[in-house]
Amino acid sequence: MPNPTNGLRKRVFNAVRAISEIFKARGSEYIELELRELENIFALIVMGSFIGLPSPPTTVSLRLLPHMGRELLIMSSVSRRLDDMLGEMAGLFDIT
Amino acid sequence: MSTRKLEKPSFPIYFFMGKGGVGKTTSSAAFALYLAKLGKKVLIVSLDPAHNLGDVLGIKLGEKHAQVAENLWASEIDFDKMVRDYMRSLADKVKDMYGYLKIFNLEGYVDTLRYSPGVEEHATLEKIKEIITLNQRKWSYEVVVFDTPPTGLTVRIMALPTITLVWLDKLMELRLAILGRRKMLERFTGERPKVVMGGKEVEVATEPEEDPVYRELKAMREEVMWLKGILTDPAVTSVVMVVNPEVLPVLEAERACAFLRRVGVPVKHVIVNKVLRLTSVPEELKEKVREEEEALKLIEEKFQGLARHEIPYLPWEPRGADKLMRVAEYLRGMFGGLEGK
């Protein structure tokens, strides 16, 4: 005869795992956002002279530029979404 | 140019600085010539965009080292070419890497950068670095003397390593924070963050050793630390401030010295050039002589701790080797420690 406790244990375990996956996904979303913002800030600092910000010596900017493909893509994508940062934050925190 | 494996230079380096027209070129040329007569193998380089080192030495000069006397070689750096070459080497690398990203109009950005503030300072500093490195690896001059641009530009050049280090340290700190977040994501999701570049999906680095940006920052820091180590080492570098006995050049020189001391560059000598020493003072020059006395008192007050050398107002133009040797007699106090080494 099947042990009802085993079935219950399995359901509890699956539920805990599902919740853990949800938290993990939410946690990684926050880290992704932080990462994206840090990379955006890094690109802004290095290329700051282009938009009137105090920037590092030109040598530093130019020597880093060849390695900053990802950061440039992030910077341009963030700047495109700047019009609706509130909407983006609302989406991230599930505010409706 | 890689400087990573270089030791500090074993040869002294002199920078002659001062307001335009005070006599930097004459003093530096006289100093270099005298050292050459003492038997030292000397290179004197003019970094001043308004060169007159060749005029003072009485010989046409270019970038290539020309022997102007026994043991003395001289060159004048083509300033515009130096800046162009410097920007081109950086720009070519950027354009190669970003050929497929023309949507950012990076070509236009990089070509415009040659007009950015600070480019001349960087290009000049790169040239100084190149000369020091080549002398260690190849040329073997025993003394290198730089005749520098006017104070404003030279002071900014000397301050560059310190300023650059501040930026590099902050950027490295930020980069480590970025790599830390990437590592966290890798642990969470089980795979590295990716980016699509040039139509291909590429994994990004999560460790400092793998990250090309961090490696470039680290390499730049090592180069800057090496150069800063040289410019701030009193056993290697000496700044010679040249002034005239007038209040304005003295005040400018004093501010320059204070700034150089703050960034650790050793100022050791002050040369007071064109001092009027008249046995009898004509009526028309009494005011001038009085102002000069005032300036000389100011020099004594402002440049305490520096060795002072005076060159009188000469009744002849100090051009050519013979006359420069006569000028050098007034600088004998600068050669202690160099004679007989």
Q: At what angle do helices B119-134 and B212-231 cross, to 10 degrees?
A: 70
Chain A residue numbers touching B167 (CB-CB < 8 A): 56-57, 60
Per-residue pLDDT band for B339 (boundaries 50, 70, 90) equals: low
Radius of gyration of chain A (CA): 22
pLDDT of residue A23: 74
A8 contacts: CB under 8 Å, gap ≥ 6: none
Q: Where are the alpha helices (DSSP H) in chain B?
A: 24-37, 53-57, 79-97, 106-112, 119-134, 151-189, 212-231, 247-262, 286-302, 321-328
Higher pLDDT, B271 or A86: B271
Helix (H, G, I), strand (E, B) or coil at B101: coil
Per-residue pLDDT band for B296 (boundaries 50, 70, 90) equals: very high
Interface test with A, best of B116, B120, B187, B196 (most A CBs within 10 A): B116
Least confident segment among A34-38, A58-62, B63-67, B300-304:
A58-62
What does the alpha-carbon distance between residue B154 and residue B121 come to, in Å, rounded to a whole number?
A: 8
Higher pLDDT, A62 or B13: B13
Q: What integer is the mean pLDDT of B102-119?
A: 66
pLDDT, tens digit (0-9, with 9 covering 90-100), for A7-27: 888 888 888 888 888 777 777
Cβ atoms < 10 Å from Cβ of B180: 16
Dihedral over Cα of B123, B126, B128, B131: its sign:
negative
Residue with tokens 């050039």: B273
Return the DSSP state at B192.
-
pLDDT of residue B1: 45
Partner residue facing A58 (CB), from B97, B122, B213:
B122
Cβ–Cβ under 8 Å, residues B314 and B325 = no
Cβ–Cβ under 8 Å, residues B179 and B205 = yes
Question: How distant is the Cα of A75 from the closest Cα of chain B, in angstroms?
Answer: 11
pLDDT, tens digit (0-9, with 9 covering 90-100), for A40-94: 889 888 887 766 777 888 788 888 888 888 888 888 787 777 666 666 666 656 6
Question: How distant is the Cα of B230 from the closest Cα of chain A, in angstroms?
Answer: 20
Token reading at A80: 């495109």
What does the alpha-carbon distance between residue A40 and residue A43 come to, in Å, rounded to a whole number?
A: 5
Radius of gyration of chain B (CA): 24
Cβ–Cβ under 8 Å, residues B52 and B27 = no
Say if the Cβ atoms of B197 and A42 lie within 8 Å.
Answer: no
What does the alpha-carbon distance between residue B154 and residue B265 come to, in Å, rounded to a whole number?
A: 12
pLDDT, tens digit (0-9, with 9 covering 90-100), for B114-169: 677 778 888 899 899 999 999 999 999 999 999 999 898 899 999 999 989 999 99
Strand partners, B273: B311
Cβ–Cβ under 8 Å, residues B275 and B292 = yes
pLDDT of residue B341: 43
Helix (H, G, I), strand (E, B) or coil at B14: strand
Residue B236 above 90 pLDDT? yes
Burial class (CB in 10 A: 0-12, 13-18, 19+), B138: exposed
Chain B residue numbers touching A35 (CB-CB < 8 A): 178, 181-182, 185, 193
Cβ–Cβ under 8 Å, residues B338 and B40 = yes
Q: What integer is the mean pLDDT of B103-116?
A: 64
Name the residue of chain A whose CA is nearest to B120's CA.
A58
What does the alpha-carbon distance between residue B230 and residue B228 come to, in Å, rounded to a whole number?
A: 5
Q: What integer is the mean pLDDT of B209-236?
A: 93
Per-residue pLDDT band for B311 (boundaries 50, 70, 90) equals: very high
Q: Which of B46, B34, B120 is nearest to B71 (CA)?
A: B34
